[in-house]
Amino acid sequence: MSAVETHDAVDVIRTKRDGGAVDEDALRWMVDAYTRGYVADSQMAAFAMAVLLNGMERDEIRVLTDAMIASGERMSFDGLGKPTVDKHSTGGVGDKITLPLAPLVASFGVAVPQLSGRGLGHTGGTLDKLESIPGWRAALTNEELFAQLQGVGAVVCAAGSGLAPADKKLYALRDVTGTVEAIPLIASSIMSKKIAEGTDSLVLDVKFGSGAFMKDVDRARELARTMVALGTDSGVSTTALLTDMNTPLGLAIGNANEVRESVEVLAGGGPADVVELTVALAREMLTLAGHPDADVEDALADGRAMDSWRAMIRAQGGDPDAALPEPCESHTVTAPASGFVTRLEALPFGVAAWRLGAGRARAEDPVVHSAGIDLHVKPGDEVTAGQPLFTLVGEDAARFDRALDALEGAWELGADAPETAPLVLERITA
C-alpha cells in the first residue's frame, strides 16, 4: 500500500489562487510531492500561475526556497580553512564579468566557487565562453572542486545535478507555462542553488534594462531585495548591486572574443565599463569575505589576478597560452554620417550575436565559439562618416543578413553626446 499523502495539491492551489498564504507544512509537501512525481505538472503549473498573479509573502518565499534546497544535496566548504564567496549575475549582453572577477578575488586568499551554467537564448553562458579555450573542461567532481579551491582558490565549473533538483524540474515547467517572470519563483530558483552550494557569502549582480531579464528597474530592485532577504534568512551574507544593462558590457559580445577581452582586463587594460563593474563586484565580495581594504586595482595592475587566472585555467585542463578560435567571415557596419553615438541597445545586439551562432536555440545545440560581434564604439563616442561602428564575425556569412535584421533600429547617431547614466545604480543590503 502506498503511503497516505499529508496534503492535497488542489487545496494548496486554491489558497494561492484566492490570495492567501500557504502554510509551511503544505508548501514543503507541495515541493516534495512534485519532485517525487505525485503532484502533476498541470497542478504545479496552476500553482506557479497563482504565484505569478498573487505573489508570495517573505516567509513563504523562504519556505519555498528551503524546500527546494532540501530536495537535493547540500555542499559544504567548512574544511577549506578560508572564507568562500560567490557571485551571481542575472545575465546580460557582453556580461563576461565572472571571467576576470573569480581569479581577481581569489588572488586575495579567498575561495570563489563559481558554479555556472550554459547560455540559452540571447545570453551566452559562462561555461560556453570558457570552452573557447582549448582543453578547458567544465565538469569537475566534488573532490576536484574542493582541491582546486584549496590550491588555486577560484573555480568556474558546471553545477552538479544533485543541487536543488526540484528547481530544475520547476524551471522547465515555468519555461513552457508563461510563469518565468514571477519574482518569488525567480528568487527561489536562483537562491536555492546558491545556498545549496554552501558558500559563506554571496554578491548578486541584478541587471535592469533592454538586455536584462528584468527590463524595469523597479522590478529588478524588487528581485534584488527578495534575493538579499532569502540569503540573509538562510545565514548567507548577501548584498546586491543594481546595474545598467541597456548597453552591451564592454566591446565584445560572443564567446572567444569575450575571453580575449577578459584577459585584457586581467592584464590591467580592457574597456572601462568592464573594469568598473569587475572592481565594484570584487570590492563587495572581498568586504563580505573579511577583506574590506583590499587593493583591487593593484591586483589587476601588478599581475596577481592574471597569475590566478592562468592557474585556474590550467587546473581545469586548459592552456592559457593557446590561440582562441578565430572567425573566418566578418562584416563591418560603418557610420553613415558624422556625429555622436547616442544609443547601442543591448537586446538586439544580443539577439544578433545569437543568430550568428554565439548562443543556442535548444539546449542540445552547439555554440560557435568564434561567432559574435565586436563593437568599435560606445554611446558618447564621436564618429566621422565611414568610421567602423561594429563588426559581425562568424563561420557562416549566410547568417549575416538575419543578424543585421535584428540590429535594424538598434543603434543611433545624433548631433549631441547623450547624457551618461551610472553603470552601478545602487547597492542593496539586508
What residues are annotated to the active site? 88, 167, 174, 189, 193
Q: Under DSSP, is residue 390 helix (H, G, I), strand (E, B) or coil? A: strand
Among candidate residues 219, 236, 362, 340, the one with its CA nearest the CA of residue 289 = 236
Q: What are the cell numbers at 247?
A: 548597453
Query: From the CB of residue 392, how many other CB atoms can be counted at a distance below 10 Å?
Result: 25
Angle at CA 188, nearest 5°, toward 182 and 192? 155
φ, ψ (nearest 5 deg) of residue 267: -90, 5
φ, ψ (nearest 5 deg) of residue 168: -60, -45
CB 282 within 8 A of CB 85: no
Q: Where are the alpha helices (DSSP H) in 88-181?
A: 98-106, 126-130, 142-151, 165-175
CB 72 within 8 A of CB 196: yes
CB 273 within 8 A of CB 405: no
Q: Please list the residues that pair with 390 across neighbouring strands.
A: 333, 375
Question: Which H/E stretch holds residue 301?
Answer: helix 296-301
Among candidate residues 65, 426, 83, the one with its CA nearest the CA of residue 232 = 65
**Angle in degrees, 0-180, between the axes of helices 165-175 and 183-196, rounded to the nearest 10:** 150
CB 322 within 8 A of CB 133: yes
Q: Under DSSP, is residue 262 helix (H, G, I), strand (E, B) or coil? A: helix
What's the CA gap between 329 and 326, in Å, rounded? 9
φ, ψ (nearest 5 deg) of residue 321: -100, -5
Query: From the CB of residue 405, how many other CB atoms can be counted at a distance below 10 Å?
Result: 12
What's the CA gap between 352 and 403, in Å, rounded? 4
Task: Determine if residue 315 is left, alpha or beta; phi over 0 gives left, psi from -120 to 50 gives alpha, anything else beta.
Answer: alpha
Query: From the CB of residue 3, how many other CB atoms can be counted at a distance below 10 Å?
Result: 6
Among candidate residues 336, 422, 354, 427, the one with its CA nearest the CA of residue 392 = 354
φ, ψ (nearest 5 deg) of residue 207: -100, 150
